[in-house]
């Protein structure tokens, strides 16, 4: 028979395992980031992310005038130019590595940046989800043991 404290501990551990598993799966599945930003006059919008070979990237910039500086790995797409009205970038990564995009508003209106960027997730985030899951399993185990035999001093 479970004691009240054991049931509460098992419940808390179960919630930790369920939430950790959900966010772990979500971080594995979703590597695509939808971009929908506005850039004020004289400000910049910077994107810096890691992507793997053959990831498809798309970026659309609309405004009166702006400067775009973009660098992709393995001598891929490299842009350092001024644009007016609208520009679209659609590329596939030629290699694994860091992508860098800096969009500076040099005009008299607000810029609108939209697109879809695929990035590799940070391994520390993956590890943190595993720690939450293992902590939940530990809490469940300790709570279950306390319901079977109560140790001295508790």
Is 96 in the same domain as 132?
no
Per DSSP, the three-state class of 144 is: helix
Is the whole-model pTM more than 0.75? Answer: no
Is 103 in the same domain as 84?
yes
Does pLDDT of 149 surpass 90? no
* Residue 30: closest CA among 118, 138, 145, 111: 118
Is 70 in the same domain as 116?
yes
Residue 152: phi, psi to the nearest 5? -65, 140
Does pLDDT of 122 surpass 80? no
Q: What is the CATH number of the domain that holds 79?
A: 2.60.120.380
For a pLDDT cut of 90, what percent of the chain falls above it? 32
Strand partners, 116: 34, 58
Is 107 in the same domain as 68?
yes
Domain span including residue 140: 1-31+121-154
Is 136 in the same domain as 149?
yes
Helices 123-148, 4-29: crossing angle, 10 deg rounding? 160
For 42-74, the pLDDT digits (tens) are 898 898 888 888 888 899 999 999 999 999 888
Domain count, the chain: 2
């Amino acid at each position: 028979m479970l004691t009240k404290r054991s049931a509460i501990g098992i419940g808390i551990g179960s919630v930790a395992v369920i939430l950790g598993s959900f966010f772990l799966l979500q971080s594995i599945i979703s590597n695509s980031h939808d971009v929908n930003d506005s850039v004020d006059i004289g400000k910049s919008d910077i994107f810096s992310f890691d992507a793997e070979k053959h990831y498809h990237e798309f970026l659309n910039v609309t405004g009166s005038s702006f400067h775009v500086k973009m660098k992709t790995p393995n001598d891929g797409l490299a842009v350092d130019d001024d644009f007016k009205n609208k520009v679209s970038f659609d590329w596939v990564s030629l290699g694994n590595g860091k992508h860098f995009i800096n969009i500076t508003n040099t005009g008299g209106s607000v810029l609108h940046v939209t697109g879809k960027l695929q990035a590799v997730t940070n391994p520390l985030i993956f590890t943190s989800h595993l720690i939450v899951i293992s902590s939940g399993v530990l809490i469940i185990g300790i709570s279950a043991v306390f319901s079977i035999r109560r140790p001295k001093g508790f």
